[in-house]
Amino acid sequence: MHHLKYVVAAILVLAPAMSSAQVQSDHSRDLLQQLHDADPADAKKIERELDLVWARSGSPSMDLLMTRGQDALEAGEVEDAIGHFSALIDHAPDFAEAYHRRATAFFRQEELGLALSDLAQVLTLNPDHFEATYGLGVVMETLDRTDEAFDAYSRVLDTYPTHERALEAVERLRTRVSGQSL
């Protein structure tokens, strides 16, 4: 488990450097800036819009796989969801949101290593994906890796300062993080 600290550190440190390599639409960049500056009510609307932008693969057949995977996940059919998301990844390996959704399914199966691997891929493809960064925090907290979880949640707040769950997590972990002043 000690090596996880280095994996998380690498994900959090290298992701911003990879940002220039990622092709993001001007619309996504604009939405991310608006999200950073928005009040909580507006931030929720912007978050939903970003989710829609990031969920578009650009292909109707790939979007269908995404929909089927998400429907299966919501129905509690985690194995089917993983199958759909894996097929989507096979056909569109640069589609970050497919990895994010599969990471969620792996987490529900308590396959934390597989979830971490997919979250790392999301953040390589889309370093600004605050929900994947939040998911990284959740996995680290589940593994009782408090410092790494705190770092991930804090990074979410760098992009999305009013993210309610990240704010709650930072507050919850603040007293347990080594080296933090109270």
**Whole-angstrom Cα distance, residue 138 to residue 149?**
7
Note the pLDDT tens digit of each residue in 42-51: 999 999 999 9
pLDDT at 25: 74
pLDDT at 77: 98
Domains (range + CATH), the chain: 58-111 (1.25.40)
**Whole-angstrom Cα distance, residue 22 to residue 150?**
26
Q: Are 70 and 81 in contact (CB under 8 A)?
A: yes
**Which residue, among 153, 174, 166, has the nearest Cα to 40 in the 3D structure?**
166
- Specify the 3-state DSSP secondary structure of 48: helix
